[in-house]
Every structure is written in structure tokens, then in C-alpha cells.
Homo-oligomer: A and B are copies of this chain.
Amino acid sequence: MVKQGSQRRPVPDGDTEQRILDAAHAVFVRTGTAGARMQEIAKEAGVNSALLHYYFRSKARLSEAVFIRAAQQLLPAVIGVLASDLPLEKKVARVVEVEIDNLSAAPFLPGYILSELTHHPERVRLLVGSATGKRPEDVGGDVLGGIRRQIEAAVRAGKMRPIAPEQLVVNLLALCVFPFAARPLLMAMLSLDERGFARFMMRRRSELPAFFLAALRP
């Protein structure tokens, strides 16, 4: 697991800034930004806490850097699919796959990002902006505009019940993301361990598209 640097010295792995970011990511996500301690991040990164300030100046900046990275890890994929020119049924199926796959690999990210956003609403701009280079309203508008047209066409063809594009998208995201945000609660109430939860989500991955498309039938 330990990569060698270009010199032969016992340099842990990767460059330091990256290691700090990784450590900060881990700590912020599991403990929340407010609950995180610079000391703990330093320890997890295997460096002295003064180094965190050398690279990132302050806890606020470090947390911002981590937040942006986390957002970039999740958003572009979904937005890409939703804004693509795939037919609507394919979009639904693809979003479910992409979202559940990505979140299964990082089950705590949704909780972290949503929590972060409620306590720092101004970071919404940061989030969407860093992921797409656009303003949140514009991203929303682009995505919704395309889907609205697809809905209208399908409704005219008698293949779909009418539904507002906003509601459709929120429904789709809810079904994919919520189980991760509520993971500890669901694990307790459904008597699942980690593997059980993973199986539960794999089953969702295969069943959700049919469920969702059935809801749209006329």
C-alpha cells in the first residue's frame, strides 16, 4: 500500500498535501466539520498539526477544500446522466446504477454533504459551481428543461402520466440517496449489518428502475 516517492527516503506515500486532504476528508466525514479536530486530522495524516496550517491556513479553508472535493466526487455523474440526451427510461435506470454504485463506495458522503449544506447554506454555490462551473439555478434549469420536454413528448404519446420534472427528479434522487443518509437508522430497524445493508442496496439497484417506471405509466 505504501508507494515510494522519487527519493529513496522513507516518505510515507504520495505528496503531503494530498495525504492531508485524504485524512481531513476521512475525519470530516465521520465526525462532521464542527466535531472534527485539527489534531485528529494531523494524526491520521501522520504529520504534525502545524503542517495543516502550512498547507491550508485555517480549519475553515481545509474544510472547504474537502467539501469541494467531496462534491466533485458525487455530483457530476448524476448531473451528467440527467442532462444527457438519453431517453427518459434509460436516464432513470442509469441514475439508479450510477448513484447506488457511487454511494455504496462512500456511504457516508450523502450525510456529510447534506449536513454541511444545512449548516453552511452559502456552500451550495460552491458545491454546484465546483462540480459544473455553473450556478445552481442554471444547472437545475438545464436539467429540468430537458426532462420537461421528454415528459411532454411521452405524455402526448400516451406513454406516461403527467408529472412535474422537479417532482420526478426529486423522487428519483430520494429513492437512491435517502437510504444512505438514513443508513444507521435503517440498519437498526431492519436488523442489518454492513453486509446486509450492501445486499439490501444491491437489491434496490436492480428493482428500483422497474418500480420507478411503473409509477410513471399512464
Q: Give chain A's interface residues, CB within 8 Å of chain B.
A: 30-35, 108, 111, 114-115, 117-119, 121, 124-125, 127-128, 136-137, 139-141, 144, 161, 163-164, 166-167, 170-171, 173-175, 177-179, 181-186, 188-191, 200, 203-204, 207, 211-212, 214-217
Contact = CB atoms under 8 A, between A and B. Distances in A.
Copies of this chain, tallied across the complex: 2
A76 to B, nearest CB: 14
A148 B138 CA distance: 43
Nearest to A123: B184
A137 B170 contact: no
By Cβ-Cβ distance, the 7 closest A-B pairs, closest first, are A34-B35, A174-B178, A215-B215, A140-B189, A136-B188, A34-B34, A124-B188
B174 A137 contact: no
A174 B96 CA distance: 14
B170 A186 contact: yes
A208 to B, nearest CB: 8
Given A128-B188, A128-B189, A174-B179, A167 B203 contact: yes
15 contacts: A33-B35, A111-B118, A114-B115, A114-B181, A124-B184, A137-B191, A140-B189, A164-B203, A167-B211, A173-B182, A174-B174, A181-B181, A214-B215, A215-B215, A217-B217
